[in-house]
Structure 1
Amino acid sequence: MVSPNAKEWQEAADLEYESLIENDTWDLVELPKDRKAVGSKWVFRVKHHSDGQVERYKCRLVAKGYSQVYGADYDETYSPVVRFSSIRTLLSFAVQNNLQVHQMDVVTAFLNGHLEEEIYMEQPEGYIKQGQEHLVCKLKKSIYGLKQSPRCWSKAFTEFMKDIGFTQSISDQCVFVRTGQEVEILAVYVDDLILITETTESMDKLKETLKKRYKMKDMGELSYILGISVVQDKDKEWHFSSSEEIH
């Protein structure tokens, strides 16, 4: 906050805090005598485009999950992400069948997961309520940093995909397929979504369905994900490149 980019960082922090409040992430309550609140901290990161240019300044509030106690604050933590081999296979399939491939980002994805455990967290630095400094946040959503948050989000998203008619792949839990008049495929890596459809119309409909449920950022045609740069020209000719030189 004393750097030349303090204005950008403050705006990013304000945006993150607004998202937390909009998602009804916590209630301010008295800390029970037999409980201890986990800490919280701000994490700052500059996101770049594939060409190295600054995309945006990103700020995220995270819980200090390392202080959580197993059996009291959390139980299971495993959460799958789409395999790199699956992404390569899906992109190859899209090239062979001349399919539409787009990308979307779920804004504050973990806040869409619901906690089953009772967890208390300290109020975020810089946003402590005046006159209520003694209160703590009783978490209702799976905020970033908690050990079980990835699992909570994955579970919620999987249930949503099944509700809208998608089937979870047997070979990769993070690949979903819906068949009907057209084939639609969605792959998820935490909060990054790869959408594959046969037509622009079906792509638009799928995006609208996702936007109705989650706050999304539409990235347009897939251009960069997990170290893979993707170039699509107007004739739908493709070129993939990464450290492994994928073509």
Structure 2
Amino acid sequence: MTAKFHAFLQNGTWELVPYDASMNVVGSKWVFKIKRHLDGSIDRYKARLVSQGFTQVPGVDFTKTFSPVVKPATVCTILALVVSCGWDIWQLDVHNTFLNGFIAETIFVHQPKGFEDNNYLHHCKPSLFIYSREKITIYVHVYVDDILITGSSSAHVSHLISNLSQTFDLKDLGPLHYFLGIEFHRDAFELILSQRKYILDHLLKINLAAAKPVSSSMATSFQLSRFTREPLSDSTQYRSIVGALQYVTLARPDVAFAVNKVCQFLQSPTDEHWGAVKRNLRYLKGTIDSGLIFSAHSSDTLIAYFDADWASFPNDRRSTGGYGIFLGSHLTLWRAKKQPTIAWSSIEDEFRALANTTTELL
């Protein structure tokens, strides 16, 4: 906490000003987390200072929000490029980071607890960057305080990391191996993405680590409905595990469709829906070492596949569409999503799926 606080002061993150009754002062809170290595051992204890933005009024204190993080499709595309070109890729961590942007409004935040200035107790306080010049190209991915850097020249990348270290307190984690809960295994010919540890952690969380695996994530003839079986007495665990399953799809597109189905019952899940969630987990247990593979021998041709099942949801008769987009042999973007309105025919259903796929492809 002390290191974080002094980093804020060093970077001039805030300025203490006298309190005025007209100010809408946002609260602040310390959030603690244990960072672990891939093998489960403790890396470090981490503290974050966050503002309680829920006290702000939309349209008064702000007009729009944004999320400065890289999209998974962008990460996959760059990884495909890295493997195909034989580039190195480095992973960095910013010790004391904060989101910084130019805004028109003035925001007032309470001083962090435990670090109030006694002399001023009534005072308050893009994701992908590309460098291209001559024959040098460098890509920098920023996901809050986690950074990936790759490029055509290892010397220029090292020089960039050195320059960044002069401004920010960086930790060089070396070659990419574990990023945002995804494991990366690379040899001379391919890069494999898996989420073995992340899946295992959630199997242990609901006592399914010893469960019998199944060969598919859902039965082909099985349809979930909103009005079957008894509602769960406590849906908190259901929502938590389904959220984790959504994150698993970052490296496991084979469960995207099945996860899409269980996501449609977050408001009032039943024991039947919970059974479908556990089937997903049992399938992941049996395929825990599976993941995405990026091969060194691939073309740069974009190819897209799509499909839709007409009126498949029994409660509102809406269709589910899905697509997968490949850069050569590398799967870089995929999605399964229920369409927002009812399609009057299978042709209309297919055209909507085609339009969505074409938009993402472009």
> TM-score, with normalisation over the residues of structure 2?
0.50
Counterpart position of 2:79: 91
CA distance in 2, matches of 1:58, 1:180: 41
SS at match of 1:21: helix
Coordinate RMSD, CA, aligned: 2.3
- Where relative contact order (Cα < 8 A, 6+ residues apart) is larger, the structure is 1
Answer whether contact 2:83 2:191 (CA < 8 A) is retained: no
Q: Which moved more, 1:209-218 or 1:92-101?
A: 209-218
**What secondary structure sits across from 2:292 in the alignment?**
coil
Looking at structure 1, the residues matched to 80 and 48 of structure 2 have their Cα atoms a distance apart, in angstroms, of: 35
User: Aligned in 2, Cα 1:93/1:125: closer, same or farther, shift over 3 Å?
Assistant: same
Cα pair 2:92 2:173 within 8 Å, conserved: yes
Q: What's the counterpart of residue 37 of structure 2?
A: 49
The share of aligned pairs that are identical, in percent, is 33
Q: Distance in 2 between matches of 1:119 and 1:50?
A: 39
In structure 2, do the counterparts of structure 1 residues 199 and 36 end up closer, same or farther at CA, with 3 Å as the change threshold?
closer
3-state SS in 1 of match to 2:135: coil
After TM superposition, what 4+ stretches of structure 1 lie above 6 angstroms from structure 2?
Answer: none
Match of 1:227 in 2: 181
Question: Structure 1 residue 114: deviation in Å?
Answer: 4.2
Unaligned runs of 5+ in 1: 1-12, 139-153, 155-172
User: C-alpha offsets along residues 62-92 of structure 1, whole Å, 9 cap, x if unaligned?
Assistant: 1111101223322221235322122222212
2:94 is matched with 106
Question: Deviations for 1:68-119, whole angstroms, at most 9, x for unmatched residues?
Answer: 1223322221235322122222212211221111112234433543443112
Question: Judging changes above 3 Å, is the alpha-carbon distance between structure 1 residues 199 and 177 closer, same or farther for their aligned structure 2 residues?
Answer: closer
Q: What is the aligned partner in structure 1 of residue 263 from structure 2?
A: none
Secondary structure of residue in 1 paired with 2:93: strand
> Are the counterparts in 1 of residues 24 and 56 from structure 2 also a CA contact under 8 Å?
no
Following superposition, the deviation at residue 52 of structure 1 comes to 1.6
CA drift at 1:31: 1.0
Q: TM-score, normalised by structure 1?
A: 0.71
Tell me the equivalent position of 2:124: 137
**d(CA) in 1 for partners of 2:115, 2:168:** 25
**Unpaired segments ≥5 residues, structure 2:** 196-251, 253-290, 294-362
Deviations 1:21-80 (A, max 9, x none): 112222222211212311111100111122222111100111111101223322221235
Compared CA separation, residues 215 and 42, structure 1 to 2 (3 A): same
